[in-house]
Amino acid sequence: MGPSVSCMSETSQITPYRVQIPQDELDDLRDRLRRTRWAPQLTGTGWERGVPTDYLRRLVDRWADGFDWRAREAELNRFPQFTTTIDGTNVHFLHVRSDVPDATPLILLHGWPGSIVEFLDLIGPLTEPVAHGGTAADAFHLVIPSLPGFGFSGPPPGTGWTDGRIAAAMVELMARLGYERYAVQGGDVGQFVGPLMGRHAPDKVIGVHVNGLLTFPSPDAAVMAALSDADRERLDAMRRWQEQMGAYMQVQGTRPQTIAAALHDSPAGQLAWIVEKFKDWTDPAVDLPEEAVDLDRILTNVSIYWFTGTAGSSAHTYYERFNDPAMWAPKERGTVPTGVAVFPNDISVRHLAEQVHDIVHWTEFERGGHFAALEAPDLLIGDIRAFFRSLG
């Protein structure tokens, strides 16, 4: 399980952690929600212009008077949690070990606007597979970090927290826990960080499994000429997404401190900013976010952003990505075996992915969406098991 705290140096100390939001912060949140200054709704408009005010009012009422944060806090505290300082910043993580001694260590990487809440429904099946339809060979020891700048890790002390730097910190976290060889899974931001962990430590990473993989057009004309009609349709879908749904990304990637001022002061604004993504990115077969993801899960996730004050720091990670030369520089193809799960709304093109990653597993699903761990945990769990089982 790695070295004990007592034998660690001060700089690598691992400290137990529990979520304990002060009551005055809960009271302040409810007061702010009840005093929300509502934006007028333009007659005859709906979701095509953003989150409708009448819908947001319903969710705010639920958050203020029908949502039990203490119950959600207790749910989080069922699992062992810790913090440690890596590269000068705080890193919070869940560390849930399986009863199967030789279980495979697996780090799960969330995205934006996500958090550790994304993975709560995966913990039991992945650590106790026999009790959830699997075999002992499917058991994992789980490490579930709040990425730097997100959630209970809190804002980093300075700039420069690129995806590559986060990946290096996650490699250090696994080493600090004593894991010599381990598996990686991630979606959204995690689909950037996970493969970078493989590039950073190919001798330690058994394999990388991702969902929501972004694939970009290649500068190689021969590669583009080999795309199928279905591939080209997905690239067209990406262009439409950038034109119609990419405003949040441009704001966070170019002026994160400005949006931080709004989101850090207004919980209703923070909820709108996040729930819009749950509307846009969840299974297209459903109409409203809570039809795809349990509403209390969504409110727990938003509450974490609010209580930890990480609306701004999580937005700044987009600025770092936009301005990171290493992010956009040509790279040699990765060598770590990579598995990809593609859910509805994902715009992943296998031929383009194969130019960058060693793709050995590719599954396309007809149910679920971008928040796969929340929307279709059964499918994601099955694909994680199948991929890592195939690696022997």
pLDDT, tens digit (0-9, with 9 covering 90-100), for 97-150: 999 999 999 999 999 999 999 999 999 999 999 999 899 999 999 999 999 999
Question: Cα–Cα distance between 213 and 291 in angstroms, integer?
Answer: 24
Whole-model pTM over 0.75: yes
List domains and CATH numbers for the chain: 5-35+47-390 (3.40.50.1820)
| Per-residue pLDDT, 7 | 38
Element (H, E) at 63: helix 53-65
Rounded average pLDDT over 11-28: 96
Kind of pairing between the strands at 337-342 and 205-211: parallel
- Helices then strands, counting H and E runs in the chain, come out as 18, 9
pLDDT of 239 > 70? The answer is: yes
In SS3 terms, 188-211 reads as CHHHHHHHHHHHHCCCCEEEEEEE
The 8-class DSSP code of residue 321 comes to H
Who contacts 248 (Cβ-Cβ below 8 Å, separation ≥6)? 273, 276, 277
Rounded average pLDDT over 51-64: 98
What is the SS3 assignment for 359?
strand
User: Tokens 């499918």 identify what position?
Assistant: 379
**pLDDT grade, residue 15 (50/70/90)?**
very high
- CB 211, CB 343: distance < 8 Å: yes
Q: Pinpoint the alpha helices (H) of 246-329.
A: 247-254, 256-265, 267-281, 289-292, 295-308, 311-322, 325-328
Nearest CA among 3, 51, 127 for reference residue 298: 51
Nearest CA among 137, 110, 97 for reference residue 391: 137
Nearest CA among 88, 84, 70 for reference residue 16: 84
Question: Cα–Cα distance between 389 and 156 in angstroms, integer?
Answer: 36
pLDDT of 59 > 90? The answer is: yes
Who contacts 123 (Cβ-Cβ below 8 Å, separation ≥6)? 79, 94, 96, 142, 144
Q: 327 vs 163, 196, 262, CA distance in Å?
A: 8, 10, 28
**pLDDT grade, residue 352 (50/70/90)?**
very high
Torsion of Cα atoms, 162 then 165 then 166 then 167, to 10°: 120
pLDDT of 40 > 90? The answer is: yes
pLDDT of 312 > 70? The answer is: yes
Who contacts 105 (Cβ-Cβ below 8 Å, separation ≥6)? 140, 141, 143, 174, 177, 179, 181, 182, 183
- CB 92, CB 107: distance < 8 Å: no
List phi, psi (to 5°) of 264.
Answer: -70, -20
| Per-residue pLDDT, 330 | 85
**pLDDT grade, residue 5 (50/70/90)?**
very low
